[in-house]
Amino acid sequence: MTNRRDFIKNAGVLAGSGLIASSFVSCNAKQEKNLRSTSKMKLSFKPYNLQLKHTFTIASSSRTTTPVMLVEIEYDGFVGYGEAAMPPYLGESHDTAAKFLSQIKLEQFTSPFLLEEILTYVDGVDVGNYAAKASIDIALHDLVGKIVGQPIHKIWGLDASKTPNTSFTIGIDQPDVVKEKVEEASPYKILKVKLGKDNDKEMIRTIRSVTDKPLCVDVNQGWTDKKEALDMIHWLKDQGVVFVEQPMSKEKEKMDEIAWLSENSPLPIIADEALQTIHDVMPLKGVYSGINVKLMKCGGLLAAKKMMTIARALDMKVMIGCMTATSCAISAASQLSPLVDWADLDGNLLISNDVFEGMKVIDGKVTLSELPGIGVRKL
């Protein structure tokens, strides 16, 4: 019988091999040889603070800004862009990201196409720091795509027509502000509603007073009693909600309660805070209906794609999510969107000071471009 470690390893090899092989097939062999012999990768980074259009409130906190680290990797005249988006609950900051990135020595590698080798090295430099690691992963993928002149989704062989609609997030707020947010979200076909305080039904009723669009809800661990949670989910189903994200605590001692809730729920229960890296996926089988994969939590595109492969093998639903971020991180995550059931890729739409132009939402749908790499232009 295949053990857990072997399963993860094999799934990882399966998920990663398509990118590596396709990248090298697309790259002219003579060009690759010249690049190896004449160029070195140069990593640079700078801190930036995102300004949110509205105060962003979830069950446990509120904020008006998000710190990010903007990353560039230069190589043979090409520049790959990356980003670490670091909301406070991740435990990362400008200081921790700068300390981690300062330790990275990419010049030791002969080519950016050595993605598995480079990212294994990056992961081993220090524990944690997954958003910082994701910024390097994103920049490397962007760099590789620019060198071969293709977007990452094409290098992976993904069908851009199969992208889902993205939800637009409505944070917890007073009824008049909630209505304003819903109006701002008029181009979007599904809304993601933050719940978990004492006004959950008021939030839903307020939204339902102005729109009948499908909803999904994110409770951010805000509910504490499984039977009350189940009653609430039945009510939410009647209100046109399609799934529930992280209804109760992520802690291991609550897993039996979550499993009971998932078994009895009329709606899919999706893991968010309970999931971070590839090693967390398999233990969630039978506990949650699906997983929400976020680049900033798992370390980037390569890890996220592996996690999706494992989840599908376990017959679990897959969602791609995000933090509040610039169009750099959002466009990177969108390259994976043809693989998922649901997308929540609105982080760039919630800020007022984006420094990139990238993935567009057209008629509510994630729409991938033909731009190489992750598909962004720097403003």
Q: What is the pLDDT of residue 35?
A: 53
The answer, yes or no, to whether residue 86 has pLDDT greater than 80, is yes
Q: What is the mean pLDDT of the segment spanning 277-285?
A: 97
Domain parsing of the chain, residue ranges: 4-28+40-154, 159-378
High-pLDDT (> 90) share of the chain, % = 86
High-pLDDT (> 70) share of the chain, % = 90
- In terms of Cα–Cα distance, which of 342, 343, 340, 328 is closest to 378? 328
Express each pLDDT in 302-355 by its tens digit.
999 999 999 999 999 999 999 999 999 999 999 999 999 999 999 999 999 999
Q: Are 20 and 116 in contact (CB under 8 A)?
A: yes
Q: What is the mean pLDDT of the segment spanning 131-150?
A: 98
Backbone angles phi, psi at 346, to 5 degrees: -115, 10
The CATH homologous superfamily to which domain 4-28+40-154 belongs is Enolase-like, N-terminal domain (3.30.390.10)
- In terms of Cα–Cα distance, which of 70, 72, 105 is closest to 85? 70
- CA 244, distance to chain mean position in Å, is 17
- In terms of Cα–Cα distance, which of 352, 350, 356 is closest to 369? 356
Q: What is the pLDDT of residue 7?
A: 40
Q: What is the mean pLDDT of the segment spanning 369-375?
A: 97
Residue 74 bridge partners (DSSP):
42, 79
Q: What is the pLDDT of residue 54?
A: 87
Q: Flag the least confident range among 38-42, 119-123, 166-170, 352-356.
A: 38-42
Averaged pLDDT of the chain: 91
Q: What is the pLDDT of residue 38?
A: 65
Give CA angle at 214 (362, 179), nearest 5°: 85
Q: Are 260 and 288 in contact (CB under 8 A)?
A: no
Position with higher pLDDT, 63 vs 163: 163
Q: 162-199 in b/e burial notation, b at 16+ Cβ within 10 A?
A: ebbbbbbbbbbbeeebbbebbeebeebbbbbbbbbbeb
Q: Which residue has the tokens 């906190």?
A: 61
Q: What is the mean pLDDT of the segment spanning 118-128?
A: 98
How far lies 239's CA from each of 127, 142, 147, 224, 315, in Å?
43, 41, 48, 22, 27
d(CA 100, CA 59): 30
Q: Is 39 exposed, middle or buried, given 0-12, 13-18 or 19+ CB atoms closer than 10 A?
A: middle
Amino acid at 22: S
Q: What is the pLDDT of residue 8?
A: 39
The answer, yes or no, to whether residue 227 has pLDDT greater than 90, is yes
Q: What is the mean pLDDT of the segment spanning 104-118?
A: 97
Beta-carbon contacts of residue 120 (< 8 Å; ≥ 6 apart): none
Topology classification of domain 159-378: TIM Barrel (3.20.20)
The answer, yes or no, to whether residue 297 has pLDDT greater than 80, is yes
Q: What is the mean pLDDT of the segment spanning 158-186?
A: 95
Express each pLDDT in 251-263 by its tens digit.
999 999 999 999 9
Q: Which residue has the tokens 């071969």?
A: 148
Q: What is the pLDDT of residue 61?
A: 79
Residue 2, token pair as written in the block: 């295949």
d(CA 268, CA 378): 38
The answer, yes or no, to whether residue 3 has pLDDT greater than 50, is no
Beta-carbon contacts of residue 226 (< 8 Å; ≥ 6 apart): 248, 257, 258, 260, 261
Residue 360 bridge partners (DSSP):
367
Express each pLDDT in 11-56 by its tens digit.
443 344 344 433 433 444 444 555 555 689 999 999 999 999 988 8
The answer, yes or no, to whether residue 217 has pLDDT greater than 50, is yes
Per-residue DSSP letters for 289-308? SEEEE-HHHHTSHHHHHHHH
Q: What is the pLDDT of residue 58?
A: 79
Q: What is the pLDDT of residue 27?
A: 47
How many Cβ atoms from other residues are within 10 Å of residue 364's Cβ? 18
